[in-house]
Amino acid sequence: MSCETETVKVLRDTGHKATPQRLMILAALRHADGHLTANDIYGQVQVAYPYVDISTVYRTLGVLKELRLVSETDMGSGDTTYEWVQQHGRHHHLICRTCDAVTSLDHQYLENLGAGILAESGFRPDLDHFAIFGVCAECQPRS
Amino acid sequence: MSCETETVKVLRDTGHKATPQRLMILAALRHADGHLTANDIYGQVQVAYPYVDISTVYRTLGVLKELRLVSETDMGSGDTTYEWVQQHGRHHHLICRTCDAVTSLDHQYLENLGAGILAESGFRPDLDHFAIFGVCAECQPRS
DNA sequence: CATCTTATTGCAACCAGTTGCAAGTACAGT
DNA sequence: ACTGTACTTGCAACTGGTTGCAATAAGATG
């Protein structure tokens, strides 16, 4: 089964409909290789179909987020980005609040955190994509 | 030195001014025992001084956040809350995306995560107050 | 205490994201 | 293929939060 029809099946099985708008939004997310803002997606979809509404984009992203098909990340600076969730290659971001540099963080750290939380309380955290703010090595005050 | 004048000193030392508006916002944050939204603070300050602007509240919260005197947490449901940062009693929240229940998480877990990140990359993460979304024990699908 | 510099304020316009609603459409059942 | 219903859409109004700007006030300096 192709990746596309697989997603459609997930939608239907959860009581959602596979509308053209949603398929276009899905395509935009899948073909992008990085983070996209809601506006990026809106722009891309408008090329094929100029009458979509931005609220449809947000509502679709909400559904996909709920189904854990996309991750939502607040990267600071007022832009929320969305990304197609891959099975492998999960990554997280360390964002320096002094110089705004973004570096990657291995998923293992959060995996450990998640396992600890689950063992203690039975709560299963979503750890698809985290943005952690702080101060990078370069920007730390010399002692 | 009282806690109040201590804060004023921190402001001045970092090139900020101790205006009446800021002092009122500080008082509101300090006297609250839990999380406050920007609007809560706005309302409280207006009692004493009806002409403050909501943008002043947000700008002050931004300054205090930068100085690490308050923590900002997105609790989901579109409300961002602010809280005076205590030296002790740091806590975090586990928010269930199915039933919206909020439970607390011991700071130790994040302390460990922070130490790991610092050791690996020299990045010093802000871990004042986290909200972690996921599914609580009750809401997990029975297997 | 008068003066000067610089941060801050209030205002209004603005931006990202959400919501209520009537009209439209996917798709399950027949 | 037709029908009915529940989900979805586009629109417009709205909310939370941000920003540019001219006027103002804090507080350092002499």
> What pLDDT sits at residue B74?
87
Contact of B21 with B56, CB cutoff 8 Å = yes
- CB atoms under 10 Å from CB of B33, counted, come to 8
Per-residue pLDDT tens over the stretch A19-75: 999 999 999 999 887 789 999 999 999 998 889 999 999 999 999 999 999 999 988
Task: Say whether residue A32 is in contact with chain B using an 8 A CB cutoff.
Answer: no
What confidence score (pLDDT) does residue B91 get?
82
Task: Please state the rounded mean pLDDT for residues B6-33.
Answer: 93
Closest CA to B120 of A143, A133, A137, A116: A137
Q: What is the C-alpha to C-alpha distance for residues B95 and B76, in angstroms, rounded to an integer?
A: 8
pLDDT in tens, B120-136: 999 999 888 888 988 89
Whether residue B3 is predicted with pLDDT greater than 70 in this model: the reply is no
Nearest to A105 by CA among B68, B122, B109: B122
Query: How near does any CA of chain A get to the CA of B121, in Å?
Result: 7
The rounded Cα A110 to chain-centroid distance in angstroms is 16
Q: Which nucleotides of D are covered by protein (CB under 7 A)?
A: 6-13, 16-20, 25-28
Residues of chain B with C-beta less than 8 angstroms from the C-beta of A124: 134-136, 140
pLDDT tens for A66-77 read 999 999 998 876
Q: For position A33, what pLDDT does the model report?
A: 76
User: Are A135 and B124 an interchain contact pair (Cβ–Cβ within 8 Å)?
Assistant: yes
Q: What is the pLDDT of residue A74?
A: 87
The share of chain A scoring above pLDDT 70, in percent, equals 93
Amino acid B142: pLDDT: 57
Does the domain formed by B88-143 have CATH 3.30.1490.190? yes
| Residue A132 to residue A104: CA distance in whole angstroms | 10
Q: How far lies B115's CA from each of A108, A137, B118, in Å?
A: 14, 14, 5
Q: Strand locations in A14-55, DSSP E?
A: 36-37
Q: What is the mean pLDDT of residues B75-91?
A: 80
Asked if A124 is an interface residue toward chain B (Cβ–Cβ < 8 A), one would say: yes
Which residues sit opposite B91 in a β-bridge? B106
Task: Identify protein residues whose C-beta is within 7 angstroms of any atom in strand C.
Answer: A 8, 11-12, 17-20, 37-39, 54-55, 58-59, 62, 78-80; B 11, 15-17, 19, 21-22, 49, 51-53, 55-56, 59-60, 63, 78
pLDDT band, residue A142 (cuts 50/70/90): low
Rounded Cα distance between A53 and A55, Å, is 5
Note the CA–C1' distance, B17 to C1, in angstroms.
21
| B9 pLDDT higher than 70 | yes
Does B135 reach chain A within 8 Å, measured CB to CB? Answer: yes
Which residues contact residue A67 at a Cβ distance below 8 angstroms, ignoring those fewer than 6 apart? Answer: A10, A11, A14
Domain definitions of chain B by residue range: 1-85, 88-143
Is B91 or B72 the better-scoring residue by pLDDT?
Answer: B72
Task: Give the pLDDT band of residue B58 (cuts 50, 70, 90).
Answer: very high
Specify the pLDDT at position B34: 78
Instruction: Determine the pLDDT at residue A91.
Output: 82
How far off is chain B from A125, nearest CA to CA, in Å?
A: 4
State chain B's mean pLDDT as an integer: 88
pLDDT digits (tens, 9 = 90+) for A89-101: 788 889 888 888 8
Topology given in CATH for the domain delimited by A1-85 = Arc Repressor Mutant, subunit A (1.10.10)
What is the mean pLDDT of the segment spanning B49-75?
93
Mean pLDDT of chain A: 88
For residue range B88-118, list pLDDT tens digits in order. 678 888 988 888 888 888 888 899 899 999 9
Interface check for A51 against chain B (CB to CB < 8 A): the answer is no
